[in-house]
Homo-oligomer: A and B are copies of this chain.
Amino acid sequence: MDLNNSVGIVKRQYFTFAQDEAMPLDSGETLGPVTVAYETYGRLNPERSNAILIVHALSGDAHVAGYHSAAETNPGWWDDCIGPGKAFDTDKYFVICSNVIGGCQGSTGPSSVNPGTGKPYGLSFPVITVGDMVRAQAQLMDHLGIDKLMAVAGGSMGGMQVLQWTVDYPERVMAALPIATTARHSPMLIAFSEVGRQAIYADPNWNAGDYYDGPRPNTGLALARMIGHITYLSEQSMQSKFGRRLQKREHFGFEFDTDFAIESYLQYNGRRFTDRFDANSYLYITKAMDYFDLCNGHGSLVKAFANSGEITYLVISFTSDWLYPTYHAKEMVGALTTAGADVTFTDLESTWGHDAFLLEVDTMTGLIGDFLERVSAEHGIRLPQPTP
């Protein structure tokens, strides 16, 4: 545990709603009760106006900063950007992050017990959308007494939730930071999602999603993760990080063992992923991403953003991100500008591919920190008093 500029020891919290009346979903189905796991860092000001919601990507969770115990060596997934003096400065802002519904890190998802049957939902869990994820987050904001968020921020699928917030709840958002994302999931993204899902379906242990009392479809899930993992990197970052280096050998093995470091890295990370992730959640969340298209129900992006004109945006893309290429960000920026929003757009030079949103910390710290200061000043937000 490294407490330097850290939010320190944090605790996962839970909020449960829709006990009496189930939450309506975009599919027409309903879900209830719904539990949302979340964490908070920093202090809410008396006006309750300095709250920032961080929304996570496919494999993320509510644990975005700090440590769950003194024994932990790895902090939350975006700890580099969240803490005292960091991009999202917890000395100034009250930061909230919740696990998406459909997930497997404390929020209601396919591995949760279906109260109707007393057994895990599995595939009887309803298909959810990014809109549904955001609807559950809005309930959490109600619960926390936060009428209007100072900002919503996130990368990748997190960025989709950011955009969805500004379309569905424009009156509840002052500023939005969609990072390394898109307003419409592209066919290439759908293609990679679908191949990952097919890898899970192909695992005999998957058993049509009914595996919670038996062996898990970890082979399929690891394969899906390996496919995804490649797409988060760039050709350049793989060249510089691995090249054609061999893994613990001097010469080619001339057999079907691991020869190259990149193979070993992918296999290791694929296996490790199965320790913390549920295969059914992978199916549900990728499906939600595939369905994501802000034009749906609006006809065009400009119309989708019709009521978002009062929101201040910071849109960030990365030059080597071939999964969410820069032109997606530009399309979004064009529509937002037409809709009258105040948009700052930066295409950051980076060789890290899609993962850049987690790695380009120095650049983002300045960029995001300055942006949030501006939003905070424009809205006259009082920062919490320093602790004595």
Contacts and interface: CB of A to CB of B under 8 A. Distances in A.
A387 B185 CA distance: 56
A192 B290 contact: no
A187 B226 contact: no
Interface stretch (A61-69, A252-260, A364-372): A252-260
A202 interface: yes
Interface stretch (A146-154, A171-179, A237-245): A237-245
A262 B187 contact: yes
A255 B194 CA distance: 13
A202 B220 contact: yes
Main secondary structure of the interface of A (DSSP, over half): helix
Interface string A286-330: 010011010000000000000000000000000000100100000
A127 to B, nearest CB: 4
A191 B238 contact: yes
A139 to B, nearest CB: 21
A288 to B, nearest CB: 11
A233 interface: yes
A273 B184 CA distance: 30
A208 B238 CA distance: 30
Given A239-B187, A325-B235, A254 B202 contact: no
Interface of A: 27-29, 123, 126-127, 184-188, 190-192, 194-195, 197-199, 201-204, 219-220, 223, 226-227, 230, 233, 235, 238-239, 241-244, 252, 254-256, 259-260, 262-263, 266-267, 283, 287, 290-291, 293, 322, 325
Given A202-B219, A244-B184, A290 B255 contact: no
B187 A199 contact: no
A249 to B, nearest CB: 13
Nearest to A252: B291
A126 to B, nearest CB: 7
Contacts of A238: 186-188, 191
Contact of A290 (B188, B233, B260): B260
Given A186-B235, A230-B192, A123 B243 contact: no
A281 to B, nearest CB: 13
13 contacts: A123-B256, A126-B254, A187-B238, A187-B260, A188-B239, A191-B230, A191-B238, A194-B260, A195-B266, A199-B199, A227-B227, A259-B291, A260-B290
A26 B260 CA distance: 18
A9 to B, nearest CB: 37
Contacts of A199: 199, 202, 223
A223 B244 contact: no
A202 to B, nearest CB: 5
A105 to B, nearest CB: 22
A322 B325 CA distance: 13
